[in-house]
């Protein structure tokens, strides 16, 4: 197995540098659940100089990421590897980043989030039967429970609230009753997190397979309400032309791009908020201006679309509403529309947005019409008439131009 080969490779080289290494966290949890982890977390007891040499000799990574907490992340073959120094963490203030000191295995265990993520395997005697379990990790795995290590866990690091919900939905585990009580007790601490940390937690949610369920649970626990993020939840499932999205997870997992997923997220759940709040939240999250502008266009288009008269409104009027947003936003919008309304939106993407006048701008100028504001109005009116099916030939377009400009 590739995994066994990797462990042997690490063991071979760690002995050259006299480093003590353990597999830890979700990697051990997943092995116990007979899953095949690809994100592998290791902790080491050693100074950082030796570990850096060990990583270089063993893996020669070209994408090594280091942090102030003495962590080393990189990709190797089909794995994402993370080596972290065994450490002691002290939270001087709730929701702040911890003060880190070198520690032993017990210190490292105490800093972790949940019992099922706090088990270790020594690489010297690597076996699923040789798990080091300082808490009730194995027992809680059998009970299928997400359980906090200590009561102040969510006070120290409120991002663990998001994590508890993500793990619960991913593993189909229940959040243990006392842990759930602590989420209710400390959820207001989320307001103390920086916008960057909250944004990163949202991105992590969007990269899960059960995004919709996670967001519903967050909504039920009023997690986003702490940040004045009132999510809009649709009742209807999306139905987009010939592509049948049976659930939201299918829609958001269609692409790998985090940018794409964020656009789908705000288009579906944060499409109703005002521009002033979008600007405020964008600054809080540290979003790039291009992404902020996309979000603003999404909210404007959504509000206009909800007011659009689908029975009597023209195709050109509909086109003006949705021409400034991407197809993924339109797909998200259809969750709030009826099937017949959805077909109108689909018709725009399938047909109307590609309709153009047969006569060119150059030919219009040759008719004696001068460049300027009037030309712009003419071209727009001509385009609308074509989209609305009023003009189907070049001759009809010429007649339209003459009537528009009062030419004989």
Q: Tell me: the pLDDT tens digits for 271-320?
A: 999 999 999 999 999 999 999 999 999 999 999 999 999 999 999 999 99
What per-residue confidence (pLDDT) applies to 177? 96
The closest alpha carbon to 296, from 281, 318, 315, belongs to 281
Q: How far apart are CA 59 and CA 74, in angstroms?
A: 9
CA distances 201 to 333, 348, 382, Å, are: 24, 35, 48
Q: How confident is the model at residue 257 (pLDDT cuts 50, 70, 90)?
A: confident
Q: How confident is the model at residue 253 (pLDDT cuts 50, 70, 90)?
A: confident
pLDDT, average across residues 357-374:
88
Q: Is 74 helix (H, G, I), strand (E, B) or coil?
A: strand
Per-residue pLDDT at 235 exceeds 80: no
The closest alpha carbon to 226, from 257, 200, 191, belongs to 191
CA distances 389 to 360, 384, 392, Å, are: 18, 9, 7
pLDDT, average across residues 221-230:
90
Contact 219, 231 (CB under 8 A): yes
What per-residue confidence (pLDDT) applies to 318? 96
Min mean pLDDT across 72-86, 141-155, 306-320, 322-336 is at: 322-336
What per-residue confidence (pLDDT) applies to 88? 86
Q: How far apart are CA 237 and CA 241, in angstroms?
A: 13
What per-residue confidence (pLDDT) applies to 338? 86
The closest alpha carbon to 144, from 121, 172, 184, 179, belongs to 172
Which helix or strand (DSSP H or E) is residue 145 part of? Answer: strand 145-146
Whole-number percent of the chain with pLDDT over 70: 95
Q: How confident is the model at residue 249 (pLDDT cuts 50, 70, 90)?
A: confident
Q: How far apart are CA 315 and CA 11, in angstroms?
A: 66
**What spatial distance separates the first Cα and last Cα of the chain, rounded to whole Å?**
83
Contact 25, 112 (CB under 8 A): yes
Per-residue pLDDT at 401 exceeds 70: yes
What per-residue confidence (pLDDT) applies to 374? 87
Burial class of residue 126, CB neighbours in 10 A (0-12, 13-18, 19+): middle
Min mean pLDDT across 88-102, 196-210, 337-351 is at: 88-102
Q: How far apart are CA 372 and CA 368, in angstroms?
A: 12
Sheet of 20-24: strand order equals: 65-66, 71-76, 79-85, 39-45, 20-24, 119-122, 131-133
Q: pLDDT digit string (tens) for 2-16?
A: 888 999 999 988 888
Q: How far apart are CA 72 and CA 310, in angstroms?
A: 55
Q: How far apart are CA 60 and CA 63, in angstroms?
A: 9
Q: How far apart are CA 228 and CA 211, in angstroms?
A: 20
Q: How confident is the model at residue 266 (pLDDT cuts 50, 70, 90)?
A: very high
What per-residue confidence (pLDDT) applies to 267? 92
Per-residue pLDDT at 343 exceeds 90: no
Contact 226, 191 (CB under 8 A): yes
Q: How far apart are CA 331 and CA 345, in angstroms?
A: 9
Q: How far apart are CA 31 and CA 278, in angstroms?
A: 42
Per-residue pLDDT at 366 exceeds 60: yes
- Two tokens, residue 30: 């997943």
What per-residue confidence (pLDDT) applies to 1? 63
Which helix or strand (DSSP H or E) is residue 159 part of? Answer: helix 159-171
Say which residue, 188 or 48, is predicted with more confidence: 188
pLDDT, average across residues 76-104:
87
pTM of the entire structure? Answer: 0.86
pLDDT, average across residues 381-391:
94
Q: pLDDT digit string (tens) for 199-225?
A: 999 999 999 988 989 999 999 999 999
Q: How far apart are CA 101 and CA 110, in angstroms?
A: 13
Residues 6+ apart with CB under 8 A from 180: none
Min mean pLDDT across 70-74, 122-126, 361-365, 366-370 is at: 366-370
Per-residue pLDDT at 324 exceeds 90: no
What per-residue confidence (pLDDT) applies to 357? 93
Contact 94, 155 (CB under 8 A): yes
Contact 128, 120 (CB under 8 A): no
Mean pLDDT score of the chain: 89
Per-residue pLDDT at 256 exceeds 80: no
């Amino acid at each position: 197995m590739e995994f066994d080969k990797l462990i042997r490779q690490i063991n071979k080289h760690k002995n050259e540098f006299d480093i003590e290494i353990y597999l830890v966290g979700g990697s051990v949890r997943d092995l116990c659940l007979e899953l095949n982890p690809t994100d592998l977390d290791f902790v080491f007891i050693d100074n950082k100089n030796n570990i850096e040499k060990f990583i270089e000799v063993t893996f020669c990574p070209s994408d090594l990421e280091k942090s102030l907490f003495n962590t080393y992340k990189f990709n190797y073959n089909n794995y994402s590897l993370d080596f972290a120094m065994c450490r002691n963490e002290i939270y001087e203030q709730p929701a702040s980043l911890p003060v880190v000191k070198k520690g032993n295995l017990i210190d490292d265990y105490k800093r972790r989030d949940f019992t099922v993520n706090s088990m270790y395997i020594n690489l010297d005697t690597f076996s699923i039967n040789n798990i080091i379990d300082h808490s009730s990790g194995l027992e809680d795995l059998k009970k299928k429970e997400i359980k906090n290590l200590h009561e102040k866990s969510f006070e120290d690091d409120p991002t663990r609230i998001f994590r508890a919900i993500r793990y619960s939905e991913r593993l189909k585990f229940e959040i243990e009753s006392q842990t759930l009580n602590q989420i209710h007790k400390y959820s207001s601490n989320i307001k103390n997190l920086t916008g960057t940390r909250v944004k990163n937690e949202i991105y992590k949610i969007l990269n899960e397979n059960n995004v919709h369920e996670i967001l519903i649970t967050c909504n039920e626990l009023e997690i986003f309400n702490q940040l004045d993020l009132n999510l809009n939840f649709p009742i209807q499932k999306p139905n987009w032309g010939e592509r049948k999205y049976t659930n939201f997870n299918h829609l958001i997992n269609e692409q790998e791009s985090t940018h794409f997923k964020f656009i789908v997220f705000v288009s579906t759940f944060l499409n109703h908020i005002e521009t002033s709040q979008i600007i405020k939240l964008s600054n809080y999250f540290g979003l790039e201006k291009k992404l902020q502008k996309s979000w603003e266009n999404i909210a404007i288009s959504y509000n206009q679309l909800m007011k659009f008269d689908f029975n009597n409104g023209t195709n050109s009027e509909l086109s003006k509403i949705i021409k400034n947003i991407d197809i993924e936003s339109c797909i998200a919008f259809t969750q709030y529309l009826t099937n017949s309304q959805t077909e109108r939106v689909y018709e725009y993407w399938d047909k109307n947005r590609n309709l153009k006048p047969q006569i060119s701008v150059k030919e219009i100028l040759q008719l004696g019409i001068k460049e300027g504001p009037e030309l712009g109005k003419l071209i727009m009116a001509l385009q609308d008439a074509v989209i609305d099916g009023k003009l189907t030939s070049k001759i009809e377009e010429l007649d339209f131009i003459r009537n528009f400009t009062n030419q004989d």
